[in-house]
């Protein structure tokens, strides 16, 4: 079955701490991978995406993610979080010839000032 | 460039009623996808429309139906509403149906009493 699993449901960090959010997927075939973020009161927006090429992708606001094909993982990282990073983060996957995005259940990140 | 817009913002209905939600895609986008996001969960794919034709459907019953118009705006219709249909309904548009970033609207919050 096609699925996305996010290991951490709720993460609390202090400002300047490093962040890593886990994401594993189950999907037959080649995939595109995404991280979306939902800030409080705002709509889902794309943080970064992987379609092909360099497995280390950089996104907006200092976020990056690494695609490890052998581990079916696409973990999100940021070296130093800010209070403004408080949000819900979703990992998502789709196959090469489908527009259907499969989302994980999300990770709530709370950054304490 | 206008982003994805959805109407209404909020809606309250009772069990058994019917509802229509509307979405205007981003300028230049010919593909619209609809998702249901229950509280505390990631979005779940309902269906996608590409150039006025349904292009893939998720695991939702037939009482969930949709439409895409020549200007690529879209409607989601839900008949015989059930309590479990209470959720945030998200619309996303993309340039093409496959291998493209999806841009999300703010959503319509549907409450079924």
Determine the pLDDT at residue B18: 98
Closest CB to A103: pick one of B43, B55, B103. Answer: B43
Whether A97 sits inside 8 A of B98 (CB atoms) is: yes
CA atoms within 13 A on the CB side of B18: 9
Chain A to chain B, count of Cβ pairs less than 8 Å apart? 62
As a whole number of angstroms, the distance between CA B57 and CA B46 comes to: 6
Count helices and strands (H / E) in chain A. Answer: 0, 12
Determine the pLDDT at residue B97: 72
Whether A44 sits inside 8 A of B104 (CB atoms) is: yes
As a whole number of angstroms, the distance between CA B48 and CA A98 comes to: 10
β-strand pairing of B44-50 with B31-37: antiparallel
Interface of B with A in 40-69 (CB under 8 A): 40-45, 48, 50, 55-56, 58
As a whole number of angstroms, the distance between CA A4 and CA A103 comes to: 6
Whether A44 sits inside 8 A of B90 (CB atoms) is: yes
Instruction: Tell whether the model's pLDDT for residue A96 goes beyond 90.
Output: no
Q: What percent of chain A has pLDDT over 70?
A: 100
Determine the pLDDT at residue B36: 98
Q: By the CB < 8 Å criterion, does A102 face chain B?
A: yes
Quote the DSSP letter at residue A103: E
Instruction: Tell whether the model's pLDDT for residue B3 goes beyond 80.
Output: yes
Whether A99 sits inside 8 A of B31 (CB atoms) is: yes
Residues in contact with B16: Cβ distance below 8 Å, sequence separation at least 6, in sequence order: B80, B81
**A26-68 tens-digit pLDDT:** 988 888 999 999 999 899 999 999 999 999 999 999 999 999 9
The whole-chain average pLDDT of chain B stands at 94
């Amino acid at each position: 079955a096609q699925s996305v699993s996010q290991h951490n449901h709720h993460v609390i960090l202090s400002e300047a701490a490093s962040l890593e959010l886990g994401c594993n997927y189950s999907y037959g075939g080649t995939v595109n991978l995404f991280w979306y973020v939902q800030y409080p009161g705002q709509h889902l927006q794309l943080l970064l995406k992987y379609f092909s090429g360099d497995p280390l992708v950089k996104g907006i606001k200092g976020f990056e993610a690494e695609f490890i094909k052998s581990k079916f993982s696409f973990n999100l990282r940021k070296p130093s979080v800010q209070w403004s990073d408080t949000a819900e983060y979703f990992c998502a996957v789709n196959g090469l010839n489908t527009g259907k995005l499969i989302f994980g259940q999300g990770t709530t990140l709370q950054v304490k000032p | 460039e206008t982003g994805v817009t959805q109407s209404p913002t909020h809606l309250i209905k009772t069990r058994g009623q019917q509802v229509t939600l509307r979405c205007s895609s981003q300028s230049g986008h010919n593909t619209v996808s609809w998702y249901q996001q229950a509280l505390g969960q990631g979005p779940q794919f309902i269906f996608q429309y590409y150039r006025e034709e349904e292009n893939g459907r998720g695991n939702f019953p037939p009482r969930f139906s949709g439409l895409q118009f020549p200007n690529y705006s879209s409607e989601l219709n839900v008949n015989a509403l059930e309590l479990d249909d209470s959720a945030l309904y998200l619309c996303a548009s993309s340039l093409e149906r496959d291998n493209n970033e999806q841009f999300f609207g703010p959503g319509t919050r549907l409450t079924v009493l």
